[in-house]
A = this chain, B = another copy of it.
């Protein structure tokens, strides 16, 4: 996602008006690595601007997604998550317990399929979602029995991590 200033310019170019509400949402999203839901963006925005409405938040998030400045993610957590990081080459680690999401910068050059394998699909994107329990959930609750240990998992591509909530 671009900077709030650049976004303002972009909105103007597209005939959209640059309102304080929208600027507020731009700021909330700037550098946000928590993959927030609309509700979370709403709360954060209200901290600065108590009268902002949930409607406007949804509206603006959709506008941004339309412009390709953020990505709406369906990670199976029950609600849309919005990711200002549109750098493409990253995927997601999702905790099935608390819903926490972490970015996974992975060397997934291999993650494309040839036309012959695409079964006629015009493939535009490939998303990988890794699911498991995050460290917090593991240490917090499951103090006793530890069945897993992730025995045979192989590391087959390089990955670099990035924060999140």
Contacts and interface: CB of A to CB of B under 8 A. Distances in A.
Interface of A: 74, 76, 93, 95-96, 102, 104, 106, 109-136, 138, 148, 150, 153-159, 161
Nearest to A123: B132
Contacts of A126: 128-131
Given A117-B104, A117-B161, A130-B113, A123 B156 contact: no
Copies in the complex: 2
Nearest to A114: B155
Contacts of A120: 134-136, 138
22 contacts: A104-B113, A106-B117, A109-B154, A112-B153, A112-B154, A112-B156, A113-B130, A113-B153, A117-B161, A121-B130, A121-B134, A121-B135, A122-B133, A122-B148, A123-B131, A123-B150, A123-B153, A124-B131, A125-B131, A126-B128, A126-B129, A126-B131
A119 B131 contact: no
Contact of A155 (B112, B129, B132): B112
A118 B113 CA distance: 25
B130 A102 contact: no
B124 A127 contact: no
Contacts of A112: 153-156
A102 B133 CA distance: 28
The 3 closest A-B pairs by CB, nearest first: A114-B155, A120-B135, A110-B156
